[in-house]
Amino acid sequence: MANSAQARKRARQAEATRKRNASLRSELRSAVKKVRKTIAAGDKAAAAKQLVESQSVLDRIADKKIVHKNLASRTKSRLAQAIKSMA
């Protein structure tokens, strides 16, 4: 356990940051799942609309360095490709 006042404060700050990051990461995963769900439903127009909404979430969370920018880019690319390949 932290012994100094400074260490106790850093522990509090680290826990608050951890909770915030976990919440944002969860938001990112939910956004991706929403797109995948609309793709599975087979509605191309709805999937494209959902992708646009999810792209802003992905970019925002990558800008905050919660996930790497390449992960966000790769995820957007794969979702767009899945929508493009829909019949």
Q: In the chain, how many domains are there?
A: 1
Residue 87 reports pLDDT greater than 80? no
What is the SS3 string spanning the chain?
CCCCHHHHHHHHHHHHHHHHHHHHHHHHHHHHHHHHHHHHHCCHHHHHHHHHHHHHHHHHHHHCCCCCHHHHHHHHHHHHHHHHCCC
Residue 54 is predicted with a pLDDT of: 97
Residue 3 reports pLDDT greater than 80? yes
Place of tokens 């829909």: 86
Dump pLDDT digits (tens) for 9-56: 999 999 999 999 999 999 999 999 999 999 999 999 999 999 999 999
The Cα–Cα gap between 5 and 28 comes to 35
Give the domain extent around 78: 5-84
Q: What pTM was computed for the model?
A: 0.86
> In this structure, what CATH number is given to the domain that contains residue 70?
1.20.58.110
| Mean pLDDT, residues 49-75 taken together | 97
The Cα–Cα gap between 76 and 51 comes to 8
